[in-house]
Amino acid sequence: MEFALALILFLVLLMGVFDLGRGIYQWNGVSQAAREIARVTSVHPGATLGTSAQTAAVVATQQGLIPNLGNPTFECVDITGAPTSGTCRPGDWVRVRIAAPWSAVTPLLGMIGSLNIESSSSIQIP
């Protein structure tokens, strides 16, 4: 009898640890995806920012690694973070924003619902 009660508690705790691990993986993955996409886009901006074949390849790779990773948004900004008009020039910064939803499968953690994990990264165009 005591074993059955302890086993249930142990399994719920184990599932909670698994869920939190998945959440940390998702958070780290979204952050890394934003950095990788920004890095490649700064070197290969394309005709329109983010349309190069190299950027598309990195986006596809990151979407294969991170569950439900959305499409990134690209923006050309100056050193203060204000959007620049026209095309990006050397010395401007590329800002990439990306997000992915995460929801727990453990019954108690599942009550918090889905969380949208977002990240952005900026890197200067050489």
Cα pseudo-dihedral 63, 64, 66, 69, rounded to 10: 30
The pTM of the full predicted model, rounded to 2 decimals, is 0.86
Kind and range of the H or E run holding 101: strand 93-103
Residue 16 belongs to domain spanning = 2-124
20-49 per-position pLDDT tens digit? 899 999 999 999 999 999 999 999 988 889
> 53: domain CATH number?
3.30.1300
Q: Count up the domains in the chain and report the number.
A: 1
More confident residue, 63 or 85: 63
